[in-house]
């Protein structure tokens, strides 16, 4: 099973996302979508679950701030990240999902791609899909879930946002 992970589109969907997500079974958007049409476009590829970010004011009523589900046998929690402690995103994320205890927690907000482990939890930030703050290349990620529910995360760089 393949899960596409994207965050911080800020109203722009890089055309390369269609190619890279063409084979995914699900898409998880970790907030700061920017406009409804982004989620509509992603839904044409695969079913989408999204959370609201700090710039998603029109979407907040329709999208949760926190998401938890079991996808392909892997428990996944997701939040945008603006409610986490920027001094320690990882610990703050694990505390936010303490009751659920997901194997993977996804967040965005910082625009910095990372894949780190805290205890038994993998913390994944796919990076910003456009307008990254600290890098010259934006990125997305794919979680590959095996039959034995082990998983592998790979990052995919995208061309810089030039608009």
Q: What is the pLDDT of residue 131?
A: 61
Name the domain count of the chain: 1
Residue 162 has pLDDT above 60, yes or no: no
**Token pair 């392909």 is at which residue?**
72
In this structure, is residue 132 part of a structural domain?
A: yes
In this structure, is residue 113 part of a structural domain?
A: yes
In this structure, is residue 86 part of a structural domain?
A: yes
Average pLDDT, the chain: 92
> Quick one: which of 118, 114, 73, 124 has its CA closest to 98?
118
Helices (H), the chain: 16-20, 36-43, 89-96
Alpha-carbon Rg for the chain, nearest whole angstrom, is: 14
Average pLDDT of 79-87? 93
Query: Rounded to whole angstroms, how far apart are CA atoms 42 and 60?
Result: 18
Residue 100 has pLDDT above 80, yes or no: yes
In terms of residue numbers, what domain contains 54? 2-158
**What CATH number should be reported for the domain holding residue 79?**
3.60.21.10
Cα 57 to Cα 35, 54, 90, 147: the distances in Å are 10, 7, 25, 39
Question: What does pTM read for this prediction?
Answer: 0.93
């Amino acid at each position: 099973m393949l899960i596409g992970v994207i965050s911080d589109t800020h109203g722009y969907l890089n055309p390369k996302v269609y190619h890279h997500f063409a084979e995914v079974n699900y898409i998880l958007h970790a907030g700061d979508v920017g406009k409804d049409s982004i989620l509509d476009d992603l839904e044409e590829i695969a079913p989408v679950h999204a959370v609201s970010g700090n710039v998603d004011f029109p979407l907040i009523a329709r999208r949760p701030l926190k998401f938890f589900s079991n996808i392909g046998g892997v428990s996944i929690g997701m939040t945008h990240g603006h409610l986490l402690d920027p001094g320690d995103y990882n610990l703050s994320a694990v505390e936010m999902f303490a009751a659920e205890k997901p194997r993977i927690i996804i967040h965005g907000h910082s625009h910095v791609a990372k894949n780190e482990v805290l205890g038994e939890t993998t913390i994944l930030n796919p990076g910003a899909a456009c307008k990254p703050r600290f890098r010259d290349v934006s990125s997305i990620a794919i979680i590959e879930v095996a039959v034995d529910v082990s998983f592998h995360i790979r990052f995919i760089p995208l061309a810089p946002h030039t608009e």
